[in-house]
Amino acid sequence: MIKVLVRGLAACVTVAVVAAPAHAAPSSAPVSVSASVSAARFTVPVLPKPTGPHPVGAVDLHLVDSSRADPWEPGRRRELMVTLRYPARAKTGVRTRYVTPAESALLLAGLGVEGPPPDLLNRIRTNARTGARPLRSGLPLVVLSPGFGLPRSSLTTLSEELASRGYAVATVGHPYEAMATTLPDGTTVTCAACEIEDSPGLVPAIRSADVSFLIGRLTGAHPAWGPPGLIDASRIGMAGHSIGGNSAAQAMVDDPRIDAGLVMDGSFIVPLPESGLARPFMLFGTEGSFLPGGPDEETSWRDNWPRLTGWKRWATVTGAEHESFTDYPVLIEQFGTPPGALPAARAVPITRSYVRAFFDLHLRGVPSPLLNRPSPRNPEVRLWKTP
């Protein structure tokens, strides 16, 4: 058992990280956050509103890849649960729920949060609305992949922001790789992969295949959502948190349809090939793990940096913890836990701004000074390598 002290999720909380194989960095393992707070202090958390000009619509998709057995449950075909958010014409429809009741109970238990009713996270209503009409056709697509052990809901705040700015955003739930995933038949499956010692080394290739299948289902002649052309197949990006970011790099290596990729605080458990990756890629993470030359530097970024042969950036966020790039600081602080060195009020806009600037540049051709020089509005962000 590896133990890590995390300040961004709870004050003086010990986080237990499931033991990983020698080649897996701790930031790729599922976390368990112990935060005991009086039940009387729990109210339904509120997610930050997106800042873009468009209302956000959402639809959940259940996609089954009949050509593949599930690597974690070989008796089943590989299936994905995907939440697709998009810019909408108007604020019509019902606001979507954050997670199912069963997912809520398992997530709270997995994060070690004691005291709230088990369905508390199910009571959260997101800023997206089901059934809202899409704004227009030709939307650039961003695929988001969560960290190992975390559900797709963990990236809701980032997803809604990008959708409000004109992107179709497919946040992928990879069943059996998260603490909880509810399937359409009502079954909620847990993290079978978390029980397999060498699973982190297998995940990037599995998720790469997941994403290629997803892109085909969203952009083909008979798309799983909307009429043909609603998503622009010539403008596709991918970002991921933790091992989801390593999976973004692997997916770009495997699938030339993905134009640009970004990792949020994830190690290269699976390194880039010696032939390299010539399309745009950004490294965006914590100083604790990825400060160049720092005492605790995790060296996979340094080792893989030369293999990124296209546009590239390396940036760190002062005070950030591993989960700062997800929704969890927002939720935990509303449970009454003191904020860490980088409170949610800063972590959310920083993550949104830099991820958006990256995709604006590479999927829309809109440059941003955030990617080239220090920002007075974001003094926490340090750009280390900007070739």
DSSP character string of 71-111: SSSTTSEEEEEEEEEEEBSSS-SEEEESS-HHHHHHHHHHT
Q: Are strands 260-264 and 231-241 parallel, antiparallel or unpaired?
A: parallel
| Distances from the Cα of 91 to the Cα of 45, 87, 158, angstroms | 21, 10, 19
Minimum mean pLDDT range among 20-34, 121-135, 296-310: 20-34
**Inter-residue contact 167 to 141 (CB < 8 Å):** yes
**What was the pLDDT predicted at 231?**
97
Q: Which residues contact 221 (CB under 8 A, 6 or more apart)?
A: 228
Tens-place pLDDT, residues 203-213: 999 999 999 99
Cα separation, 263 vs 276, in Å, equals 16
Q: What is the mean pLDDT of the chain?
A: 90
**What was the pLDDT predicted at 38?**
44
Q: Which amino acid is at 130?
A: T
User: pLDDT band for position 387 (50/70/90)?
Assistant: low
| Distances from the Cα of 65 to the Cα of 58, 62, 68, 224, 328, angstroms | 22, 10, 6, 12, 31
**What was the pLDDT predicted at 386?**
61
Cα separation, 109 vs 253, in Å, equals 36
DSSP character string of 142-199: EEEEPPTB--GGGGHHHHHHHHHTT-EEEEEE-TTSBS-EE-TTS-EE--SGGGSTTH
User: pLDDT band for position 26 (50/70/90)?
Assistant: very low
Cα separation, 86 vs 164, in Å, equals 7
User: pLDDT band for position 35 (50/70/90)?
Assistant: very low
Query: Partners of 112 in the beta sheet?
Result: none
Listed in sequence order, the DSSP H helices in the chain are 101-110, 156-164, 199-219, 243-254, 287-290, 300-304, 328-334, 344-364
- Evaluate if residue 266 carries a pLDDT over 50: yes
**Inter-residue contact 376 to 273 (CB < 8 Å):** no
- Evaluate if residue 372 carries a pLDDT over 90: yes
Query: Partners of 145 in the beta sheet?
Result: 240
Tens-place pLDDT, residues 58-105: 999 999 999 999 999 999 999 999 999 999 999 999 999 999 999 999
Minimum mean pLDDT range among 214-218, 220-224, 374-378: 220-224
